[in-house]
Structure 1
Amino acid sequence: MFCVETQHFPLTRILLLAIGLWPYQRSKFSQLQATLCFGILSSFVVFQLTALITTKCTVDFIIKVFSTAMVFNFYIITYNMFWINTDHVRNLLDQLQCICNELKDENEIAIFKKYGNNTKRFTLILTSFSICCVFIAILLPIWPQILGIFLYINESRIQSQTIQIVTEYFVDQEKYYYLILLHTYAVFCIGATTVTAIGTMLLGCIVHAYGLFTIASYRIEQAMTTKIFENINLNSWSMICKKICYAVEIHHKAMKFTNFILSSFKGSFFMLIMFSVISLSLNFFAIFRNASLGNKEAFVLHILYVLVIYLYLFVSNYAGQEVLNYSTHIYSTTYNVQWYNAPLHVQKMILLILQRGSKTFSLNIAGLFTVSLECFATLTKASMSYFTVLYTMQQ
């Protein structure tokens, strides 16, 4: 027996602890930490929207403000998703631990550990990507200053060039420039940590669900091996019945666990999809707008926004597609075993699995979105359509 949370989610645990969202650490300090992180993220969006009060609003300016504000709203929704559902997150990990404790077969434990190692590998890759994105985002505001050391550019000119995100703090922005920049850096770091930590936690849970589906397929194959049918007796039929029962049980747990992930956060998932499509459309427009104006820093920044959102959408939809594939694999495995050689009562049990497998098991959000690669293509098409409308209106 091993601890799932420490052995399969070590890096995710560190990231969640850093932002006060680890479900097993609910001290007063962690609550203060969570409140501070959420306040920093929320205040940055507020200070972006206040720019609409003090500046003349044109269509171009509104799009400029909302193209970045939507991205940081994405961070807020993601953070809030775990903050208000701490019990659900802890329940997910507890369910995984209980399922792991019930595994006795060495091959099944090896399968479970294999998908746990995949979870750690995906977490490391996504964390590395996030670190690179944050590094680039932090470097962009100070890049003109680095050049200014060698090119002798006036400091006020440098500061005017480095402000790529429209904000209104109701203070002298030149005087408090470095405090504003510090606030921006804090938001980038907290936001990237939030998206990475929560994304890898949910992805890890889905990957473990793949392992449960694989174990169900393994149990079915072991229950209906050729060796069992070579020496048929009463004990053999009893053994087959037990193994089929175990296969049905783990299959049911895999489906229940996957549905619990979706039902726990379905409201947040729906909001994230809407904000993702709107944000992609606005940032595509901002990319073309800044490219035409020659604003390289803003161009790169909006490229980063698009890459992060696209990666988030692709990974989540690919994970949903894999759930569909693994569920279908159980159906094909059950269909291909020698079920016709089993006694009638065993065939009825196998028929139960076949009936489940004949119905497409997928992750469905609010009855509108089926998480899959097809959904990813649909969302991409929708965001490009809205971008085309915006671009046409500006011509």
Structure 2
Amino acid sequence: IRRLFSLIERDGKALKNEEDKQIMERWLTRVRKITTAYTAAMFPILGLFLASPAIPKVLDFIKPLNETRALIYLYETEYFVDQDAYYVPILIHTYMTVPLSVGSIVFFDNMLGTFIHHACAMLEILRFGQIKFSFVGDKMLKFFNFFSNYLQRIHLDAEIKRIDNPVRLDRIRKNIIRCIHMHQNSLE
């Protein structure tokens, strides 16, 4: 988990373009809303689940029966003791373990959602953001059509037929390499 957070931090520091930062912020806002809603839904449900053993006691108070109502256990388990005689210790054990389990599940679900949204943001930045080729030659347009989604915003006005400037050619190569590295990091 620490390594994934360091990768997210590294990717965040690598964003230089304002549009890229806006894309990342939009995805972060989205994941914040989703994880908040998920957490806000899970813990009240947990509270209702934990309150379910009290239902027989409440019903005995509201509408008593001539017989004892069955006890409600939160989950089936075997402690190799008489469960009715040790109902309260079993219930206390359940009250201590279930919130820990649900809390861990919610935490890891939220982390997974955060990592997935980060990867989606990085791939969207690659799709809409990093490199733009403005080639004039038809052959190169057909060849680079495959890369058109990834390679959109280099902002170079180079014609493929006349890339005799080594600095310009080097800049194109570096941007392509940077794009490939971002893609590999997103898949990591």
Give the shorter-chain TM-score range: 0.7 to 0.9
Amino acid at match of 1:209: A
**Structure 2: any 5+ residue segments left out of the alignment?**
131-150
Q: Which has the higher Rg, Structure 1 or Structure 2?
A: 2
Q: How many aligned positions are there?
A: 163
User: Secondary structure of 1:180's partner?
Assistant: helix
User: Secondary structure of 1:221's partner?
Assistant: coil
1:123 aligns with 2:39: no
| CA distance in structure 1 between the partners assigned to 2:177 and 2:77 by the alignment | 61
Contact 1:216 1:247 in 2 (8 A): yes
| CA distance in structure 1 between the partners assigned to 2:48 and 2:121 by the alignment | 36
1:108 aligns with 2:20: yes
CA gap of 1:162–1:247, structure 2 versus 1, over 3 A, is same
Amino acid at match of 2:153: Q
| CA distance in structure 2 between the partners assigned to 1:190 and 1:153 by the alignment | 35
**TM superposition shift of 1:207:** 1.1
Aligned to 1:165: 75
Which of the numbers 104, 108, 114 marks the counterpart of 1:204?
114
Matches within 5 A, 1:71-220: 89-153=1-65, 157-158=68-69, 160-163=70-73, 165-217=75-127, 218-219=129-130, 220=151
CA gap of 1:164–1:91, structure 2 versus 1, over 3 A, is closer
TM-score (norm 2): 0.73
**TM superposition shift of 1:244:** 2.4
> Quick one: percent identity of the two aligned structures?
23
**TM superposition shift of 1:96:** 1.2
| CA distance in structure 2 between the partners assigned to 1:184 and 1:115 by the alignment | 38
Matches within 5 A, 1:367-386: none
Q: Which has the higher helix share?
A: 1
Which of the numbers 164, 169, 175 marks the counterpart of 1:243?
175
Contact 1:216 1:248 in 2 (8 A): no
| CA distance in structure 2 between the partners assigned to 1:153 and 1:236 by the alignment | 88
Aligned to 1:228: 157
**TM superposition shift of 1:209:** 0.7
Q: Deviations over 1:107-127 (max 9, x none)?
A: 222222222222212211221
| CA distance in structure 2 between the partners assigned to 1:199 and 1:94 by the alignment | 19
| CA distance in structure 1 between the partners assigned to 2:77 and 2:11 by the alignment | 49
Q: Deviations over 1:282-320 (max 9, x none)?
A: xxxxxxxxxxxxxxxxxxxxxxxxxxxxxxxxxxxxxxx
| CA distance in structure 2 between the partners assigned to 1:243 and 1:166 by the alignment | 59
**TM superposition shift of 1:248:** 1.6
CA gap of 1:138–1:198, structure 2 versus 1, over 3 A, is same
Q: Deviations over 1:333-375 (max 9, x none)?
A: xxxxxxxxxxxxxxxxxxxxxxxxxxxxxxxxxxxxxxxxxxx
| CA distance in structure 1 between the partners assigned to 2:72 and 2:92 by the alignment | 13
| CA distance in structure 1 between the partners assigned to 2:100 and 2:5 by the alignment | 23
User: Secondary structure of 2:152's partner?
Assistant: helix
**TM superposition shift of 1:236:** 5.1
Q: Deviations over 1:41-72 (max 9, x none)?
A: xxxxxxxxxxxxxxxxxxxxxxxxxxxxxxxx
Please tell me the root mean square deviation across aligned C-alpha atoms, in Å.
2.6
Contact 2:53 2:73 in 1 (8 A): yes
CA gap of 1:144–1:250, structure 2 versus 1, over 3 A, is same
| CA distance in structure 2 between the partners assigned to 1:198 and 1:253 by the alignment | 21
**TM superposition shift of 1:169:** 2.4
| CA distance in structure 1 between the partners assigned to 2:59 and 2:157 by the alignment | 75
